[in-house]
Amino acid sequence: MNIESHCSSAKNDAHRPVLMNVFSFSAFHHLVLISVLVTLIVSSRSLQAAPAFTLQQVIDSALQHNPSVNIARAQEDAALAAVTTSKAYMNPEVEFGIGPSRYRSGNNEVKSNWGVGLSQTLEYSDVRNARQSIAESNVKVAGVGREITRVELRSRVKDAFYNVLQRQSVLKLVDEDRHLLQQIRERVKLRADVGEAPRYELIKAETESLAAERDYQAALARVLEAKAYLHGLIGSEMPSDYELTGELPLGDSLPSLVSLREKIEQSPQLQQIRAASEAADAKLQLEERLRNPGLTLKAGMDQDPDMTNMRFGIAIPLPLWSQRQGQIAEAAAGVRQVQAILNDRTLALHRDIESAYQRYLIAQQQVAAFEHGLLSQSESVLKTAEAAYRFGERGILDYLDAQRTFRSVRKDYLTARYDYVSAMLETERLLGAEIFPTN
């Protein structure tokens, strides 16, 4: 039994290297295959780079494919069709009747008689003119509404475009800080392992590194959110994976506040309300003139067994029981309402323009403060803290605090830049005019 067991163990030992070589050879081929697949995936992704769009391309695509523009265009087409309706004349009416009849001479023979009538209603010219004025004013309202829709959409696309750029800048900044803090953590870990640094410095460095990783993930999510919102303004015509080409227009500036106030009267919002006021005035005139809207011309012929009768006449409505007091009062209230809306919107535009201009001035001052002092000062503090840490004059806590301060200053600078552009975009939207170009 011992000899047999010894022989069997010897045989197993003899086969074991062969089996290990086979397994090693198979694992090697699996590793090679996985490496090839990973290489192909990375290569395919690099070859299929996401398309890049400029601001003008994004705006043109949004104005062409956004449903709100098509809705406004359909409303304008409906208003134009209403003008055609207001110019149309009423159709004439034909009346025909037949029935039994007897002779007047006493003959009891029964024969049929028949009659034919024709009537045409004609409106007075002032009624037709008032109805056409309402339709034409509604065309103005719809046309200005379509322009307001385009202005609003262009402003929203601009804001979303620059929001993506701003969040991408924050993401780049956070990514740089993440890599830097990872390097700091590795250096501190090495020093802590050899006993040159206490353990609490390693704990602090790891905490800062984890916080940087958290900030990076949050910044990445905000970029994806901003890109999804911009994609939603355009629609399926724009690919879901895309890049943007451009930069914030920090070199542009707004005119003076006095100049902006002078442009308020040309605002599309006020133009639309004025067109609605014209339509309300025409509506009041129409209701007043409908008390006596027109007349009806009538002609007819009756055929009896004994004779043939021809008749002509005119029918005129008499405003005895109803003189349209309710309709006239309702139209007059509509005129006052539109006028009050115009006054209210004018005051609101003045207020909103001044508010946006003040935000613009504040953001402009903040950007100048960052560019002419705060950025360089925080960078100098960081370099000093880094040099002191390298030479052992300061601890890791001081260096990390300086790094955190520098990171916060740069984030605030990016926020001030976006606020500067956002205030200008808000002014553009309120005035309904492009103040600085999109290129």
- 264: domain CATH number is 1.20.1600.10
Distances, alpha carbon 116 to alpha carbons 103, 136, 296, 299, 300, in Å? 20, 39, 16, 8, 5
Residue 318, SS3? coil
Q: What is the pLDDT of residue 328?
A: 93
pLDDT score for 229: 92
* Residue 123 in tokens: 């409106």
> How do 294-303 and 110-123 pair as beta strands?
antiparallel
pLDDT, average across residues 86-99: 89
Alpha-carbon distance of 168 to 164, in angstroms, equals: 6
Number of Cβ within 10 Å of residue 192's Cβ equals 18
CA 173 to chain centre: 28
Question: Does residue 405 form part of some domain?
Answer: yes
Does the CA dihedral 69-74-79-80 come out positive or negative? Answer: positive
Q: Would residue 44 count as lying in a domain?
A: no
pLDDT digits (tens, 9 = 90+) for 127-171: 999 999 999 999 999 999 999 999 999 999 999 999 999 999 999
Q: What percent of the chain has pLDDT over 90?
A: 43
Give the strand pairing for 308-315 and 294-303. antiparallel
Question: According to the model, what pLDDT value does residue 84 have?
Answer: 93
d(C-alpha 315, C-alpha 249), whole Å: 70
Q: How confident is the model at residue 400 (pLDDT cuts 50, 70, 90)?
A: confident
Domain membership of residue 140 (yes or no) is yes
20 falls within a domain? no
Are 357 and 260 spatial neighbours (Cβ–Cβ below 8 Å)? yes
What whole-number percentage of the chain has pLDDT above 70?
85
At 106-117, the pLDDT tens digits run: 666 667 788 899
Q: Among 196-200, 262-266, 297-301, whose mean pLDDT is lowest?
A: 196-200
Beta carbons of 99 and 113 less than 8 angstroms apart: yes
Residue 368 has pLDDT above 70, yes or no: yes
* CA 381 to each of CA 172, 207, 403, 409: distance values in angstroms, whole numbers, following the listed order: 22, 22, 9, 12
pLDDT tens sequence across 297-353: 999 988 877 778 888 999 898 888 888 899 999 999 999 999 999 999 999 999 999
pLDDT of residue 58 exceeding 50, the answer is yes
Q: Given the structure tokens 């008499």, which residue do they identify? A: 318
Instruction: Give yes or no for a contact between 213 and 178, defined as CB atoms under 8 angstroms apart.
Output: yes
Residue 139 lies in a domain: yes
pLDDT for 43: 47
Indicate whether 396 pLDDT > 80. no
Host domain of residue 248:
59-103+113-431
* Helix (H/G/I), strand (E/B), else coil: 237: coil
* Domain annotation covers residue 320: yes
In a domain, 27, yes or no: no
| pLDDT at residue 398 in the model | 77
Model confidence pLDDT, tens digit, residues 207-249: 888 888 898 999 999 999 999 999 999 887 888 888 898 888 8
Q: Over the stretch 8-54, which tens digit does the pLDDT of each residue have?
A: 444 444 444 433 343 333 444 444 444 444 444 444 444 457 788 88
Residue 29 lies in a domain: no
Total structural domains in the chain?
Answer: 1
Average pLDDT, the chain: 82
For residue 105, the model assigns a pLDDT of 62
Can you name the residues that pair with 311 across neighbouring β-strands?
A: 300
Measured distance CA(79)–CA(355) in Å, rounded: 36
The neighbouring-strand residues paired with 300 are 117, 311
Structural element, H or E, at residue 113:
strand 110-123
> Looking up tokens 């029935």, which residue turns up?
99
pLDDT score for 278: 93
The whole-number pLDDT of residue 107 equals 63
* CA 299/CA 122 separation, integer angstroms: 14
Q: How many residues belong to the chain?
A: 439
Matching residue, tokens 């087409």: 77
- The rounded Cα 46 to chain-centroid distance in angstroms is 32
Model confidence, pTM: 0.75
What is the dihedral sign for C-alpha 202, 170, 414, 376? positive
Cβ neighbours, 10 Å, residue 145:
21
CA distance 433 to 430: 8
